[in-house]
Amino acid sequence: MRYLEGVSEAFQNPWQFLLSFFLALLVILIVTKLLCKCAAKAQAKAKIREAQQRREVAMKKMEAAVERLKQQAPKVDPEHILSLSLKELAHQLRQGSLSPDSVLWVYMEKALKVHSELNCLTDYLEDCEVRVQELKQQPKEKRGLLYGVPVSLKDPYDYKGHDSTCGMAYFLGKPAEEDGVIVKVLKSQGAVPFVKTNIPQTLLSFDCSNPIFGQTVHPQNSKKTPGGSTGGEGALLASGGSIMGMGTDTGGSIRIPSAFCGIYGIKFTGYRISYNGVNSSIKGKKTVTTMAGPMAQDVDSLVLISQVLLSDYMYKLDPTVPPMPFRKEVYSSTQPLRIGYVETDGYTQPSPSMIRAVREVSEKLQAAGHEVIPFSVSRIEYMMKKLYVPGIYADGGKTLLEKLCGDIIDPSISSIISALQLPAFVKCLLSWILRPTVCLENRGWGFIKGMGTQRENGA
């Protein structure tokens, strides 16, 4: 009877009944969403703990491998090997005056020491020990340009059996099924990949920190950043823990750590080399092109690596790359060139040391007989505000936020993630309110702050 009376009363007050129903449904939805978030966060934390433990085990395996190789490989002077340039090291390895296993343990030992000080490694590629033994069986005439040379890889490069994390819990426990194209090309020329290096969470920061592997610091000052996103590579190379490495660059991710750490790097023109087998936190970007590129300790090393990468084998593995091989005759030519340069793009302010460097290079090129022409970059503000940033976050950050669901957000990207999480109507309102004040801000600092850099640079 009471039940029937309740039903009768509900029909007598339908609006009140509907309001109660929708309020109850809203509460259920909110509670369900909170429970899902809590479950996702717990899962992410568990995956992070497992990844941290895997790295500890990997570093111990690396230490054990160093001791094994020390016992088995020919005796060498580590300081002598570490003092060689890439060109000299590769030559001595090809000629047989140095053994690949000796060189490997020297660089592994140095990398471990650097890592203990800077926290720059994320993984040890343990099959490198087997690889050097296989290389030793090769006859001299079949040895490639990078025969026996140890190579470090930025975290997102796919290496069979290892995670390409991008500093995100989402990608943990998803090892690559095969090597990426660039890794295959390097191996085809005898290179020995042996470690992966640290990056910022999502790769969209000029810092080098993530919740899985922590903060990488600058080689000369632990209170500063080595730059990002290829910061682990920059720190390792600058400290002598690797002789060559591979990075990626969307808006400075090779160039910034190279400048901060005092090494050399190249961001190739879009689609100049293959990007197949390199992971990304945001796939499918078309208006903004991310490129792979080498990093090393001198310019000659970059030339040698470019010769290796721009090869017929890469074009065979990835037919989407235009077949434009390295032309040594053009590189070696002494004919005068026409070279354009800019001192500033009019949007970000270069430091006095950068302007001085550009002017000194321009003067030396002119003295060498080249024609040097200053030019200005047009509509740079439009490009940055209307093409670059919107090109990265074309979906309003939806894809990125989905991958970060439940993840711990690193301070290096917290500001941009907070902005992406705002409701659309709030973004529009803030844009309308802040537009007049944004025009008065320092444009360079505003952009860097927006990308989430909160640590001092290492310049």
Nearest to 115 by CA among 242, 243, 244, 293: 242
Q: Catalytic pick from 99, 102, 110, 154? A: 154
What is the fold of 42-333?
Amidase signature (AS) enzymes (3.90.1300)
Measured over the CA atoms of residue 186, residue 191, residue 194 and residue 200, the dihedral's sign is negative
Q: Catalytic pick from 253, 281, 311, 412? A: 253
pLDDT reported for residue 374: 94
pLDDT reported for residue 427: 79
HSE at residue 193, side-chain half, CA atoms within 13 A, is: 27
- The DSSP result for 118-153, as a single string, is H--EEEE-TTHHHHHHHHTTS-GGG--TTTT-EEEE
CA distances to 100, 140, 141, 371, 379 from 137, rounded to whole Å, are: 11, 9, 12, 50, 57
pLDDT per residue, tens digit, the chain (459 aa), is 554 555 555 556 677 767 777 788 778 778 777 777 788 899 999 999 999 999 999 999 999 999 999 999 999 999 999 999 999 999 999 999 999 999 999 999 999 999 999 999 999 999 999 999 999 999 999 999 999 999 999 999 999 999 999 999 999 999 999 999 999 999 999 999 999 999 999 999 999 999 999 999 999 999 999 999 999 999 999 999 999 999 999 999 999 999 999 999 999 998 999 999 999 999 888 889 999 999 999 999 999 999 999 999 999 999 999 999 999 998 999 899 999 999 988 888 888 988 999 999 999 999 999 999 999 888 888 888 888 988 999 998 999 999 999 999 999 999 999 989 988 888 788 777 877 766 555 444 444 344 433 444 444
Within 10 Å of residue 321's Cβ, how many Cβ atoms? 19
Q: Catalytic pick from 205, 209, 229, 306? A: 229
CA 120/CA 227 separation, integer angstroms: 12
Q: Letter for the amino acid at 374?
A: P
Answer yes or no: 229 catalytic: yes
pLDDT reported for residue 438: 60
Within 10 Å of residue 93's Cβ, how many Cβ atoms? 23
Domain boundaries defined on the chain: 42-333
HSE at residue 106, side-chain half, CA atoms within 13 A, is: 24
pLDDT reported for residue 51: 98
Nearest to 406 by CA among 42, 51, 32: 42
CA 82/CA 71 separation, integer angstroms: 19
